[in-house]
Amino acid sequence: MPLFLTVSLALLAFAGNSVLCRLALSQPNMDASSFTIIRLLSGAIMLYALVKLKPKRTSSSTTPQNLSVFNASKQEWLRAFYLFIYAAGFSYAYQMLDTAAGALILFGFVQFTLMTVDIMNGKQPSTLELSGMGLALSGFVYWALPSAQAPSLLGSVLMAISGIAWGFYTLAGKNSQQADVDTAKNFILTLPLLVTLIPIYWLVSPLEVNSQGITYALVSGAITSALGYWLWYQVLPKLSTLSAGVLQLSVPILAALGGIIWAQEYIPFSFIVASSLILSGILLVILAPQKTA
């Protein structure tokens, strides 16, 4: 599959995932713990089935036995931990934040994490890359900030943690050799961690589920999360760290565009301006030559 198409599908899946999460949590359909559990569990089942049905190769690394938690390495457990922290923090934060404020905090901390690690590893962004990143960020803030309400402190902290975790999960994917097996194992290894969410039912948020909320969580887990993250791990080794971060700034715009298309909403001028700035910034970063200190 061409790189452009794979990246586009992954980003569309991210946008769809955000919409599904908001649909499930903005109404009294599902509590955050149940949404997170069903999302990660359905994602693990989907990816395990896909890897198991995949034609076997000479290498044994693609067999389902290697998806077992008993032979997982420290690095694999760390990737699963990042995924779990991101998914849980994302769900709980969006119970306290509106979409715009949550998106600003999440993607701001993703970008900050990726850029900080890149600089610490000795990689200096070029002037063109910095210009592109600044242009994309300005478009993102222009679009999201005016509609953002004063954020909850706890919600902001949770979303910041979620953004940092997703940043490290993205960085870990740059070393992925087999995207399908690695992503499947990441989801499977989150399942033991789900036990830590059970006490929240008694301490913070009681169980609240219905068929509509469960449907949103299943689609989010099995389709937009599992398949979207699989595609993301396929393309990450081919992207620079800065490109991987800036590209994700398009996700809120894609989510808003979906609402405009499917709900036949009016296209505001601010959306056109913000989209132009973000896409122009992304283009600059992608076209910029790579420079290492």
Per-residue model confidence as pLDDT tens digits over 6-21: 998 999 998 888 778 8
pLDDT score of 66: 72
CA-based nearest residue to 246, from 158, 154, 170: 170
Check whether 262 has a pLDDT greater than 60: no
> Taking residues 46-62, what's their average pLDDT?
74
Q: Give Cα separations from 161 to 10, 82, 93 (angstroms).
A: 22, 10, 10
169 with 82: CB under 8 angstroms? Answer: yes
- Model confidence at 292, pLDDT cuts 50, 70, 90, reads very low
CA-based nearest residue to 192, from 105, 80, 98: 80
The one-letter amino acid code at 290 reads Q
Query: DSSP label at 224?
Result: I
Dihedral in degrees, nearest 10, Cα atoms 179, 185, 186, 187? 110
The one-letter amino acid code at 187 reads F
Please indicate whether residue 205 or residue 247 has the higher confidence score (pLDDT). 247
Q: How far apart are CA 293 and CA 287, in angstroms?
A: 19
Q: Give Cα separations from 102 to 149, 175, 213, 278 (angstroms).
A: 10, 29, 20, 18
CA-based nearest residue to 67, from 49, 82, 55: 49
Check whether 291 has a pLDDT greater than 70: no
pLDDT score of 232: 95
Q: Tell me the per-residue pLDDT of 30-42, one tens digit each, with 9 for 90 and over.
A: 889 999 999 999 9
Quote the pTM value: 0.84
Most confident of 44-48, 111-115, 256-260: 44-48
Please indicate whether residue 174 or residue 59 has the higher confidence score (pLDDT). 174
pLDDT score of 60: 46
Neighbours of 174 (CB within 10 A): 15
80 with 190: CB under 8 angstroms? Answer: yes
